[in-house]
Amino acid sequence: AIDIRQLYQNHGLLTFDPGFKSTASCKSSITYIDGDQGILRYRGYPIEELGRTCSFTEVTHLLIYGELPDSAGLTSFNHTIHEHNLLHEQVISFYRGFRRDAHPMAVMVGVVGALSAFYQDLQDYSQPDQQMKAAIRLFAKMPTIAAASYTYSIGRPARYPDNRLDYASNLLQMMFGKPNEAYEVDPVIAKALDLILILHADHEQNASTSTVRMAASSGANPFACIASGIATLWGPAHGGANEAVLNMLEEIGSIENIPNAIRRAKDRNDPFRLMGFGHRVYKNHDPRSAIIRDMTKSVLKHLNMEDDPLLAIALELERVALSDAYFIEKKLYPNVDFYSGILLSAMGFPRRMFTALFAVARTSGWVSHWLELKNDTTHGIDRPRQLYVGSSLRHVERR
């Protein structure tokens, strides 16, 4: 890589890279991606191995601290999460200011941003213990915040976290448990959710993580930084894609309509795109996609939903697209979101919660990047330049 700062300082040279297609914005030791080989590793461990052998809590420990926990370390990490997973009653009343039909992501942007007003004891973020406390608070509270945004939307009182349960099971009981009723966690569903959380935990400098880092580079409050990440994640080109995939599969409606969908996706004059296809970095395959596809098949089998018509359309769409010259030439493959919507839907999650779950998972990565940036003394405020293409000098003329 060329250190462009030297060229700028000595020769005034600027690079023009709209959308940062070929610009590394920072150094990071958290996640490694090789888009040509379809490789994804967290702190050196292949995603496939982590998905097979670890829990989301262990993976978050890995992302935050750089190492997987031993058994005592995991107990202590869980204990810290349990200490911080409740919401202040005043935060619960804060929800009441939102329209009840608001999108959960709109509510989450607001609630997470507002946490900065609730934690005024944490003000010196140059101190490692305060940094860690903010990171843990965010990670621990996010399932409670996401579940409350759902229960509020359906008019049901929010349930408290149950510290006898693991992170994913706890999220399930807060989402789906009825007030004053025991909620029986289906271990297959809990395992699937845990895997989804692992697969979405981090993905280096994606749009939302870059936003978090850019906000953090100004020294902004961590709760506000994560709120900016949630806002960015919401877009259909990013975390909103799995919701958009289901809408698209329903719009396609049947296997007979797939050729027409493929034709439309290839037409440059038609805004229709195959949602869940393509990736800025993966130009071979997205390693998360196959893991999710296999999990989707096994969960649907467990739920006796193997005949799900949307799964049939998705499988056929993938097959047809992968043998189509346009998709081959442009290196467009199913990404992590192509099957995750079908899976989440079968697990009982309403469509509007899909991106909220993604936000819960990605909080793990966001706080790790926030911590990394806070401890990088060489990284100043992010301040991209631009190519000005507006009017040349002109003067006000009063008529």
Q: What is the dihedral of CA 79, 81, 83, 86, to 10 degrees?
A: -150
Decide if residue 210 touches ligand ACO (CB under 6 A): no
- Judged by CB under 6 A, the residue of 58, 243, 337, 372 near ligand ACO is 337
Distance (Å, whole) CA 110 – CA 127? 26
Angstrom distance (rounded) from CA 298 to CA 321: 23
Q: CA angle, corner 335, sides to 280 and 265, nearest 5?
A: 80
Q: How many CB atoms lie within 10 A of CB 256?
A: 8
Residue 236 burial class via C-beta count within 10 angstroms: exposed 0-12, middle 13-18, buried 19 and up: middle
Catalytic one of 103, 279, 286, 369: 279
Which of 104, 143, 276, 365 lies at the binding interface for ligand ACO (CB under 6 A)? 276
Size of the site for ligand ACO (CB under 6 A): 19
Tokens of 99: 């329209």
Active site residue 279: yes
Minimum CB distance to ligand ACO, residue 215 (Å):
19
Nearer to ligand ACO, 84 or 238 (CB): 238
Residue 334 makes contact with ligand ACO by CB under 6 A: no
Name every residue whose Cβ is closer than 8 Å to that of residue 90 and which is 6 or more positions away in sequence: 118
Provide the minimum distance between the beta carbon of 352 and ligand ACO in the complex, in angstroms, as a whole number.
17
* Annotated catalytic residue, options 194, 202, 286, 337: 337
Nearer to ligand ACO, 134 or 314 (CB): 314
Nearest C-alpha neighbor of 90 from the set 65, 115, 108, 71: 115
> Which of 277, 284, 292, 202 minimizes the C-alpha distance to 38?
284
* 260: its two tokens: 């027409």
Site string for ligand ACO, 283-322 (x = CB under 6 A): ----------------------------------------
Q: Does 361 bind ligand ACO (CB under 6 A)?
A: no
Q: Tell me whether residue 162 is one of the annotated catalytic residues.
A: no
> Per rule CB under 6 A, is residue 264 in the interface with ligand ACO?
no
- Check binding of 330 to ligand ACO (CB under 6 A): yes
Out of 192, 193, 198, 275, point to the residue binding ligand ACO (CB under 6 A): 275
Q: How far is the CB of 210 from ligand ACO (least distance, A)?
A: 12
Spatial CA neighbour of 37 closest among 49, 28, 46, 29 = 46
Q: 81, 167 in Cβ contact below 8 A?
A: yes
If binding is defined by CB under 6 A, does position 278 make contact with ligand ACO?
yes
Q: Which of 21, 44, 22, 25 is nearest to 213 (CA)?
A: 25
Pick 22 or 29: Cβ nearer ligand ACO: 22
Please identify, among the stretches 58-66, 89-97, 275-283, 364-372, the one whose residues bind ligand ACO according to the rule CB under 6 A.
Answer: 275-283
Look at phi and psi of residue 12 and say left if phi exceeds 0, alpha if psi is from -120 to 50, else beta: left
Residue number, 142 or 292, with CB nearest to ligand ACO:
292
* Residue 277 binds to ligand ACO (criterion: CB under 6 A): yes
Q: Name residues whose C-beta falls within 8 Å of residue 166's C-beta, 6 or more positions apart in sequence.
A: 55, 57, 190, 194
Query: Min. distance of Cβ 299 from ligand ACO in angstroms?
Result: 20
Residues annotated as part of the active site = 279, 337
User: By the criterion CB under 6 A, which residues form the site for ligand ACO?
Assistant: 237-239, 241, 265, 268, 273-280, 330, 332, 335-337
